[in-house]
Structure 1
């Protein structure tokens, strides 16, 4: 149960009764919210009800707050109600409410915080790197962020599909094929010399070239480029995608759909042609000219009549060309057809996780969504800033194998999947991230992933300790609310309050597409748990396993089990292992 949603409903009902009695019927309650106070000493819950209703009702916020507070004091679960500042209302709930909620957490187990099915179908596209080389550390961040967004949205109750868009059409694939053919010749014994500018220089293509030589021998050498290019292109794309899938698997990422851009260009008419024709029929495509771009004109700019999408009518800065001067479709036209394909597959929300250098795509993708789907589907674009790698405070040098960058595999192989996934989320995606190899492997509070995983391992250790001392830990699964009511220490109740934030946090992270909130929350929960454990060192009466008091121990073990449930659930959503023990 989401206690914040529960009390928001309770507060609205009490507020409505107060306003009806005053003759103020029909007020808009949509802006009323309930959240934890910034300062826990102010209470358990805070509502802005009086603040948001005062102006529409031409009333003073404090006067409304006082009236609402009197009504809220009648709630059987409310201990105290106080009006603060200009009209915020702070509520403190009775201890029995919190221990009853703990009972519900234990009943839900790892499903605590899971949302009800919404019927909302979401497509999350992430990574989508050109299949021209290994994934680098920048792709790594987008991969983790996208995967966590998909996991959180699914847990919140949405039907989610994870997708990779293969950019297997265009000039970069021609370059890949020619670069691979060069390595193929090298594998057959030719001296290829220095890699020419414009080709991919990374050593990773040596393996592909060698495999091509084994597969075809010297056969391709006797062919003209027009003959060997399609063969090499297809072979190289397949090899690169196999490598990319392996890199993603190292991060425990398996996408549901790998969508080929090339398929949008195939057929007569192609899916791009169909999408453009559909938009033309609805008045979104026209023949016209574009004003010159501001500043210095690019060399390839042409003042000519073009086929344009009327994207300024749906929120874009400029209308976008759909056809190049040579008659082929632009990359943007493929974007239009790709979105139309997703919409045709029944998705009503499309999430794109892109690198920060794609910031200019936001408005154009939003415009495509409005043109194609109107109000029936919408786009969310999540941008991921750069990752800077350090070792002992010094920048990490690029990978020789990749030729230009540090690969995802380099990072995962050195520190492991869990530190990579957690730390890629330990900052908001649109902020730059510093990743220090030493910090993410040290065993200290300064290493967030260790600190959170250690909290779960500590919880499991406490259960094993209790079992060793003769306490029936299997009874924790069915501990009753009356036994849990023995939890009266402020630290214990504070832990329950922290656990109660989880369902609200899942929903908020899902709506905002901000999985870093989950990593922050898990760190705070781990800190609260470690803090309560350490209190027991100084005050033996607060220890989770209390000698000669099996009933109190059982109640506290219920709290420990609930902490373990929530940490394990949260770690699973961000793709991190919840260990049973750590050494």
Structure 2
């Protein structure tokens, strides 16, 4: 039996056996049948829930159906034994020859091994990072960037047609505040004033022959306080060089209209250049950058409202007071509301502010209409955990816009705490109030950052220990996996780097040691791991798999040091050597395949 995915193959045989046992059941009755690795390896190589999930529909007792299914599966030529277990499961043990036969498959397919078809080439938009363009990327953005990028890679490997997207939040109040902070730096550049200093009245009079700049300077300074870093200084200098004093209103105060728009546009463009550079350092290259402001200018908000209105999903009404508010501190008013409760949300949601402009939620609706119009069959977002309360309303909006045809999955990424020597890391002087992404990459390297960010489930809080990330021990998963690949490459170089095609022809019957078979068993679960992780939207499973695979390889390596008959290269056993080199090459191949999903570069040797 030679299959790309043993688990998929045995699942198909299980479904066929159930269909023979239960010929009256429709084909879709078997949709929930799974074939997975058992939780306890001592129970076998695979376990299926087939009898359990169809017993009720078949009006049979699950244990009885499981026994009948086990009898059918035990008769398959690739199965050594099949036994019913628990309330309706069947455990399978495969013949060793079937397991060994997967090594040539891996060697022939290379890093394509594990590529799946569960995505069926459906178009999926993965939106991640999408930080407000108000400053450099920081550690708070880093985890979402890595999770989103790895998830997009994972979906592509599992068979989806993936677009990586960055949504630029450039239409809100924070961006207006950023423009005012840039205006402060612009005035400083005009006045040649040291950063952080407030020029005196004579300096302002010398600049404008009047006091017209004082009010503008003081108001901009008040807003600029929230942007404590010096990254806006070059923006101010560029504005001063291009516009001179033209951006200062004749009547004093702060700029408005075209002048403020010009400041905002230049500032956002500069920030996005910086953000793209930061993402490139992290190995993140997105396919599409969509501007919120551009969607608003294009009338996408009004278009989305019209779509919802045509479906009877917009009305004028008054909401109940928000939780925690009392009638005394809350003023009821009529608003334009979206019937979000019809799609599972807790309350209906406002689309317009009192000034008639769109709410943040309304602009997000416009963004999602834009995605749906571009033909995506599925949408996936990676958000910070603080946006957890926003998930239901956004899923309701997408369901309404797509008539329940386009699902929206949201992955929440928890906060990361960076520590060194057991203490929180000092803040960046450049950013002023946070640790920049560049700081982190400069400290430990891109690959260590990416791998470490995937060593826990996204919604679990994480402590990023700078000391442990560079520690060379099995306690450091980055080192542990990279060391396994480096050891594989060392063995293969020592054997003259034999071609994978030649190793694929090696006789494999000599691979009988339990440690060798355990490693092969792990390799055969790679396609199933890719599929399960993609369906669950959980890229951290890839890091877990690689850590377990590295562990199996290190065990075999150490066995060879203790027992010379298990060494990978033995001149007196050329056939066994070729078989073990095939196993080593397959292991290196799967490690590279997994690291590619994570966006991590495999190392040839440890330094």
Equivalent in the alignment of 2:228: 201
1:4-51 deviations in whole A, cap 9, x for unaligned? Answer: 11111111212332344xxx6558323322111111111111122233
Q: CA deviation at 1:59?
A: 3.3
3-state secondary structure, aligned to 2:167: strand
Note the C-alpha offset of 1:298: 9.5
The TM-score, its normalising length taken from structure 1, stands at 0.94
The reply to whether residue 434 of structure 1 matches residue 463 of structure 2 is yes
CA distance in structure 1 between the aligned counterparts of 2:329 and 2:387, rounded to whole angstroms: 21
Q: 2:340 aligns with which of 285, 290, 311?
A: 311
- Which segment drifts farther, 29-38 or 513-522? 29-38
Q: Give 1:295 shift.
A: 2.1
Q: Does the aligned pair in 2 maintain the 1:100–1:481 contact within 8 Å? A: no
* Structure 2 counterpart of 1:470: none
TM-score of the aligned structures, taking structure 2 as reference length: 0.91
Shift of 1:215: 3.2
Q: Which moved more, 1:407-416 or 1:194-203?
A: 194-203
Partner residue in 1 for 2:509: 485
| Over 6 Å off, 4+ runs | none
CA distance in 1, matches of 2:171, 2:74: 65
Q: How does 1:203-242 map to 2 (within 5 A)?
A: 203-221=230-248, 225-226=255-256, 228-242=259-273
- Superposed CA deviations along residues 199-242 of structure 1, whole A, max 9, x for unmatched, are 42222112322333333344434656125322211111111111
How far off its partner does 1:480 sit? 4.7
8 Å CA contact retained: 1:103, 1:484: no
CA–CA distance in structure 2, aligned partners of residues 133 and 298 of structure 1: 39
Q: Alpha-carbon deviation of 1:67?
A: 2.0
Give the corresponding residue for 2:73. Answer: 72
Structure 1: how far apart are the matches of 2:379 and 2:368? 8
Give the root-mean-square deviation of aligned CA atoms. Answer: 1.9
State the distance in 1 between where 2:313 and 2:249 align.
Answer: 49
Greater shift, 376-385 or 80-89, is seen at 80-89
Distance 1:128 1:476 in 2: 42
Q: Counterpart of 2:538?
A: 514
Q: Distance in 2 between matches of 1:87 and 1:123?
A: 38
Structure 2 residue aligned with 1:125: 127
Q: Contact (CA 8 Å) 1:124, 1:352: kept in 2 or not?
A: yes
Shift of 1:333: 1.1
Whether the 8 Å CA contact 2:503–2:581 is kept in 1: the answer is no
Give, in whole Å, the separation in 2 of the partners of 1:534 and 1:528.
Answer: 10
- Within the alignment, does 1:289 sit opposite 2:321 as a pair? no
Question: Residues 367-408 of structure 1: CA distance to partner in whole angstroms, max 9, x if unpaired?
Answer: 011110023211001100000011011111222221211111
Partners of 1:416 and 1:475 lie apart in 2 by 32
TM-aligned CA deviation for residue 254 of structure 1: 0.7
- For 1:299 and 1:457, the matched residues in 2 are separated by 67
Whether the aligned pair in 1 keeps the contact of 2:417 and 2:464 (CA below 8 Å) is yes
In the TM superposition, residue 541 of structure 1 has moved relative to its aligned partner by 0.6
Give the number of aligned pairs: 573
Q: Can you list the C-alpha shifts for 1:63-94, whole angstroms capped at 9, x where unaligned?
A: 22222222212100111122333443211111
CA distance in 2, matches of 1:512, 1:527: 24
Q: Within 5 Å, give how 1:177-576 maps onto structure 2.
A: 177-188=179-190, 189-190=192-193, 193=197, 195-196=221-222, 199-221=226-248, 225-226=255-256, 228-267=259-298, 270-297=299-326, 301-467=330-496, 473-480=497-504, 483-576=507-600
Question: Gaps (5+ residues) in structure 1?
Answer: 468-472
Whether 1:5 and 2:8 are equivalent positions in the alignment is yes
8 Å contact from structure 1 (residues 476, 554) kept in 2: no
Q: Aligned partners of 2:425 and 2:533: how far apart in 1?
A: 32
1:110-189 equivalent positions in 2, closer than 5 A: 110-116=111-117, 118-188=120-190, 189=192
Offset at residue 291 of structure 1 (A):
1.5
Q: How far, CA to CA, are the matches of 1:403 and 1:482 in structure 2?
A: 60
- Aligned partner of residue 576 in structure 1, secondary structure: coil
Over 3 Å counting, the alpha-carbon distance change for 1:168 and 1:480 in structure 2 is closer
User: What secondary structure sits across from 2:417 in the alignment?
Assistant: strand
Measured after TM superposition, the shift of residue 297 of structure 1 is 4.5
**Structure 1's 423 and 7: CA in aligned 2 closer, same or farther, altered over 3 A?**
same
Q: Deviations over 1:334-371 (max 9, x none)?
A: 11111001000000111111001111110011001111
